[in-house]
Structures are given as C-alpha cells and as structure tokens.
Structure 1
C-alpha cells in the first residue's frame, strides 16, 4: 500500500458530517481527537442519534410500501413521519428494524474500541439495547448535532480547493440554510431505498393482489401473516430471522426462495421449505395467486411474499456530483479503499462495506480520514487511486460484490485501516504520544470469534426463550483459550 503524495492543498478547518448513526458518531469522535478542526457540524434528520437503530413503531409502517418492482436508487429525500410524544413532535423515518430484532454479531465484536456493551446485555443484543448504547456513546458530542435537519444538497463549491456547499432544511420550521465546508463525511447509511427485482409477471400480480408483495423494510412483526401462505425471498440475516418469525403463525411452513444457501443458515430442521429463485409470477387469469420457481415447481394460493432482497446505495443530496457516486445503485462509485471519493478526497463514505462489523469499521475509517484531513497522512496520486478501484472491479465486478468483505477479508481490511492510521505523522498534544485516537485491531481472539460467529449465533438461537439469559460466549460453550490449546495439541 503506497500512502503518499496526494496532499490536500487547502487546509481543512470546517467539516460537515451527514448522519448521527454509528458511522457519523464515530466520525465526530475521531475528528475531535485530532484537535485540528475549527468547526464540526452534524446534520441528522431524525430526532435522536442512532440512525437505523431508531426503531420505527409498527404504526409508522402501516400501509407503507414501495413500488413493485423497485429498480432505481434515484429516489428523492425521504419524508418524515411525525409522531406526537409527551416531549414534543418527533421526526421518524422508516427503519428496517423490526420488533423482535436482535443483532447477528456478538456484543464483544460489535462494540466500539472505547466502550463495552453492558455486562447484563444478552450476548446478541436486542435492538433497544443497541439504541441505548449509541445514546450513551453520543453523550459527549450531542451539542454538535443539529437534529430534525435534512441535508438537501451537497455540491462542489470550488473545484481547485475541493470545498463543498451544503444546503440543509429544518424539518420543524421548513427554513433552509447553506454553508461552506472544507470536507464532508457521508454517514447517511444505505438501508433506505429497497430493491425488489423485476420478475416476469410481477407487475400484473401486484396489480391483482395489492399489498401481497412487500419488502423487509416494512416488516415489523409476524401477526399480520397469521394463517397465511407466505413466501420469503432471500437468505440474508433478516430473511432468515423474518422467515422464522412468520413460520410461527403462517398456514403451513414458510416457503423460502433463495439463490444460494446462506452462510448464516441454521441446520435444516424442517421448519421451512426451501425453493430456488422465483422465475415467474403466473397470470392471475390462469392461476390462483400462483408463482413458478427455477426448478419448475409451481405454488398457488400464495397470500404474501416478503422480499428480503436488500437495498440500493442512494445519496439524493449528491445528485450534482460528477463523476457520480451512484449509477446503478449496487455500489458507491469512484471510491478509493472503500472510503474516499477519488476526484475530491475531501468527501468520505465510511462503512460502505457489507458483511463487516460496522461499529469498529466506522472507527477505523474515521481514524484514517481524520488524519488525512488534518494533514498527518497523505493519499496516493489520483491515477493510483483510480487504478486501485479498477483492480477491485476486475477482481469482484462492478456490482454489489464490490463492497462485500466476508471473513477473513473484513478482518484483514479492519487491521489494514488500523495500521494505516498508525503510520500518521505524530503531532504534539495528541493522545498515544502524539499518535492520536486509534481504533480497533483484531488479534487472534477476535478473529476466532468472527470466524465462529455463525456457529455462535446458531447455538444462541437454539436456546429459544432462554437466550435472553446468555450474556457471554462461555455460557454457550465457546471458549477461546480451550480452542487454542486444542489447536496447539493437534500441531
């Protein structure tokens, strides 16, 4: 890794952070730790911190849906749903969280480097515990956050200086304001614009049976599927979990349509029927709610289909960016090391990567871009950054695989970022003998935990209602020291 020679010429003093979710909060902490920037402002459209970890109650999802199929990332900014609470009106935006969601990452791995989850939190925390954790993590930076403020546009103000003009709107008053920043962190997340594929016949089927086809973004609890014949499409973590919940109340076993077996899937226990992908929604004139699968099987009388098929990358406020950050929406374009916008590296996109552990990744990304922007690290020349992206496209393609970093790639990348940040020129007055705030580096124990996460999660889920009592790995029979001794004994 060649990390030199593209110095950012304009001193960066004013930084905007879009979003106060896990990535935005980490960004603020690391920017502050540089003791370099004059102004750090955070714009958050919700009423509180946490991003997608702000659970939307089922009442705010009722009757909400997306067009079927849904094939474009180019959506306008989302409109808030206002909820009246005792402490005032709250701006809520639909979150993909559902009522019974638990993380699929053990709390020891999921944490930020400088804050542990509470000992009493279950091993795979419930979403409310994660929200509380983020509230506490944000306590010392809340004064920098403008809540109920939606960013409408970020455009290049001065090409030679790589400065940005940011226009935001107060959702409470409707007032617009525009300010100039030397750098912008795009920490707005990528779980907003759902994808529903265009399968032959899906439009006519949706017209004939309105509301039968939905996306996991709008799922909250299984009750509305009581006594229905249900197909769940996709084998992501949410697909597996939503399918298992619906299976408790559905008519017969849930039918799961998937292209390939999930790395998270529990061993077959007969609680669902696996089908390959759907190839056709059959004509309503000839079939009663019929769908056809790739192996030729046909199922009729299907009452509901839930697509757990993921989301597009989408940044409505960056529509003037050239070259664009989004075209087809399967990845963020023109980025170096999954982070910097190549043409103007004063724009950063933390945690684009998927199949990673987001909180420590957010820290390590923030540690890098904070040091680049405070002139303690430099980037390679633009042509070298473009060559890096071209090589990644050659290796992984130009679609969603570009951002996928399944283990051990995620662990290697996390450590690479840590070591990159550690190479920064020291500055007197910073912590760690002038090195500044450093994030997470995974050693053998963390890698062991990451490698075994699917097995740990399966063992946890199999405890049923007892799992809320499980607070650590050893209670499930996973012991790193014992595993290490066994490894040494077999050498």
Structure 2
C-alpha cells in the first residue's frame, strides 16, 4: 500500500483499462489523445465492444460453448432515454436522429456509434480478454493483472502482466438487485421470476399472465412491450408513483398493483402473489423485475490492507467502491481509478469529463490532495448527505423516500459534481473549455428538458398506433 502523506500525483507509463463499454472506450481515447503515456490498452471480456449496448444472441442451450456468456441487460427493441447530444463524446458528435417522433437513439444506433468511435483505437483493444485478478503490488511497484484469453482453448489461456496503473470501467450490470421477499428464491429457481438483466423482448410472453416489478425506465419499457402481446392486464407492482422523468403513459392494458409481499409456486407450477394490501394475484406465468442494479463492484481487484483484500464487498456500507477521491481515484493508491462507478443522467458525457480529469492527473498536470484525509473529504460528505436525505424520508413517511437516494446515484448532484471536474480541468488545461460539455444552469435545464420530451415522444407514438 502506498503512503499517501506528501505524495505527488501519480505519473504512470503503462495503463490498462478494464471494460469496453462507453466508459472504457472514451477513457481509452482520452488517455491516448490527451495524455503522453508509453502504452495504453483496453481489455474487454466479450467478443465485441459496446458494453451494455452490445446485444449478443442468447446461447443455444443445446450447443456447447467454449467460453462463458455474459448477458447484456439490453433488449432488441430498446430505445434510449437520453438524447443524441448527450450520447456524444467530445470531438465526435452522435448522428442526428432519423425520427422526429423518436429522437432518442435505439440500441442498434448507439452500438454503431460506439463501434465507429472505437475504430481508430482498435490496435489498443484486446477482445475476448477477461480480467480475472488485479492485485496491488507492494512498494508502489504497480499492479499484477491476471487475464484469460478466451480465443485460446476451451478454458481460455491465463497470463500475467504488470501495469503501472489500472482503470476499472465496468459498472453494475453483473449485479442485479433483487427484492428481499419471501418465496422469491424459489420462484427464481422454478424459472418463473426473472430480472431485466436477461430480458430479451416480448417473444414467448404471448397470452401469458405477467407481472412487472418497478416503474422506473426498465420496468416501464418492458411493460410497454408486454402490453401488446401478454394477457391483459399486465400488472405493474410498484411501491410509489415514479418521478416524472420515468415516462409512462396510462394504458388500460397495464394495471398498477401494490408491492409483492410473498411468492408461492403453486401446484400448477405457476405463481400466486400476495400483495401489500392483502389481495392475491393467482396463476401468474412470469414476474419480470426491473429493480435495478447494485453499486459498481470489482471483487477481482485486491488491494493491500495490509494483506491482499478485495476492494469491494457486500459488507461495505453504504454500498460503493470505498475510499475513492472524486468518485474516481483510489485514495490509498491513486494508480487505481474507476470511471463509471456512479450512476448519472448522462453517463457518456460524464465519463468523457471524468476520464479527461483522470488523464490530466496521470499526466501530472492536475494535482490531487496530498493527504488521505483531504482525499476522502468528498466521500465523507457524500455519505453524510445520503444519510440526511434518508432521515428526511423516515421522518416524513416512516420509510425511505426513494431507492434513488443512494451513495452511487448522483441525481441532482450530477450538475455540481460534473461542472466541478470540468472547472478543475480548465484551470490547468484551458484548451478543453470549449471541447468538453457544460453543466451550467442553462445547460442543466436543457438536460432535464429531455425527459419532458420523452413524454411528447410517447404521446406521438400512441396517437400513431
């Protein structure tokens, strides 16, 4: 472990990025073009870049595979909730949308954008390369990284390399969040309860009695697809009315019901669901959970504390990657970084700004605080703020106001946080003032306005049916 007292900002020569989604790709571009490093490489475990935006066909259960399958939580008919300008990396604008009714890019359009963006970076990208372990070396000697190349042999081929710095650019989608409800494990084991992580569209749900849990973006999108094919009504089990930015038009084919309090697999191998109001839904064929994902996790990263210990654990409270400065740098050894560890309204643009900030730190152009106490001041303030908001909810309703009040979900804090990063960048590199996006008051109102635009898009679609 590094002694941070009086330590200068790190200046690594060789940097490995883990994850080939939007966060990893823009980090790769920025480290290459905005820094001066000897070697920058990105490792992606799947056979193409794109992260969640790369929808690989589900494996045929009757066909042997020579590698693991890592599902994307995307689905074929997915339409995004973010306008193209906020999916645009700096100096690489997203194409103009082809539809006025649907100005939000589709899954395919977003994946194609990422593939075009990555094309000049191909020589720096290793596909089918799973990062198995990232181990901190003593005495500031870097990181030992164990990878498995799935292009070679049935079990892959492991190798070990030493890197000066490692950037973790994977987020939450391996870790779906499930309600702690009696009977749910048995329902899952019976194949009657699934998660949005593995939703692959409405095919196979024709005429089925289905319940969708949740009313945020994923649940609303899934309910909107199911209502056209499933038995009416599709039930949407919700705890409270959603915030307005999760757009969903009222529809007689979708009926809201209270939270599920117990799952029971009945004699006909279907589900009976007890609800909070004492009523019961019987003979349900499937329950799809749009209940989100746990905070970013990297159990394969092991640090010296003082012995080798996974950096993330289910025991960490609140759930988060601990000991981060500015949600990015591991404060005890700032040659380890995380891009995309927090959830935001516009993750593409936030990753662009945060990885530019990281590039300047790694280049010794931008300096971080010397002491551990100063580096962790932001984390302590964020934890205190989240607890304050939760206390407000407990006082008003005797429960949490919203599951969106969490350490790793920025919400309205995104504006201050993102603009703060940009201000630090521009303070040492004014050439990026016009290059990077803004989070000014005027721009923030425009960002929030895109959610109202989604309501207009849905109404236009409904009128066209």
Q: 2:352 aligns with which of 336, 340, 363?
A: 363
State the Cα deviation string for residues 366-419 of structure 1 (Å, max 9, x = none).
11111111111111221122232122112114997001122x322222211111
- Provide the rounded CA distance (Å) in 1 between the counterparts of 2:251 and 2:358: 46
Check whether the contact 2:164–2:335 (CA below 8 A) recurs between aligned residues: yes
Tell me how far 1:360 sits from its aligned partner. Answer: 0.6
Aligned counterpart for 1:388 among listed residues 364, 378, 387: 378
In structure 2, the CA distance between the partners of 1:25 and 1:466, relative to structure 1 (3 Å rule), is: farther
Evaluate the alpha carbon distance shift between residue 278 and residue 167 of structure 1 in structure 2; reply closer, same or farther with a 3 A threshold.
same
Task: Find the counterpart in structure 2 of residue 211 from structure 1.
Answer: 191
Deviation of the 1:189 alpha carbon: 2.5
- Distance in 2 (CA, whole Å) between partners of 1:206 and 1:107 is 37
**Do 2:15 and 2:165's aligned partners in 1 also have CA atoms closer than 8 Å?**
yes
Query: For 2:29 and 2:185, how far apart are their aligned partners in 1?
Result: 47
> Match for residue 439 of structure 1?
436
Single out whichever of 113-122 and 179-188 deviates more from structure 2.
113-122
| 1:327 paired residue number | 313
Does residue 451 in structure 1 map to residue 448 in structure 2? yes
Q: 2:170 aligned with 1:188, yes or no?
A: yes
Q: In the superposition, relative to structure 1, how do residues 116 and 110 fare at CA in structure 2: closer, same or farther (>3 Å)?
A: same
In the alignment, structure 2 segments of 5+ residues that lack a partner are 391-402
| 310 and 125 in structure 1: CA distance in 2 versus 1, 3 angstrom threshold | same
Distance in 2 between the 1:265 and 1:92 partners? 32
1: CA distance, partners of 2:449 / 2:141: 44
Partner of 2:396: none
Aligned to 1:299: 281
Partner of 2:297: 314
Question: TM-score, with normalisation over the residues of structure 2?
Answer: 0.84
- DSSP 3-state at the match of 1:194: coil
Superposed, which structure 2 residues align to 1:325-474 within 5 Å? 325-328=311-314, 330-380=319-369, 381-397=371-387, 401-406=406-411, 408-424=412-428, 432=431, 439-443=436-440, 446-464=443-461
1:103 corresponds to which residue?
80
Deviation at 1:314, TM superposition (A): 2.7
Higher alpha-carbon deviation: 177-186 or 379-388: 379-388
Unaligned regions of 5+ residues in structure 1, if any?
64-79, 83-89, 468-491
Structure 1 residue 449: Cα displacement: 2.4
Match of 1:268 among 250, 254, 266: 250
Q: Give TM-score scaled by structure 1 length.
A: 0.80
- Name the CA distance, whole Å, in 2 between partners of 1:285 and 1:247: 27
1:257 alignment partner in structure 2:
237
- 2:304 & 2:236 partners in 1: Cα distance? 40
- Counterpart for residue 42 of structure 1: 42
| Equivalent residues, number | 430
Give the distance between the partners of 1:180 and 1:447, measured in 2 at CA: 42
Partner of 2:399: none
Q: Distance in 2 between matches of 1:133 and 1:465?
A: 28
**1:424-453 CA distance string (max 9 Å, x none):** 2x5xxxx93xx6995322345532221222
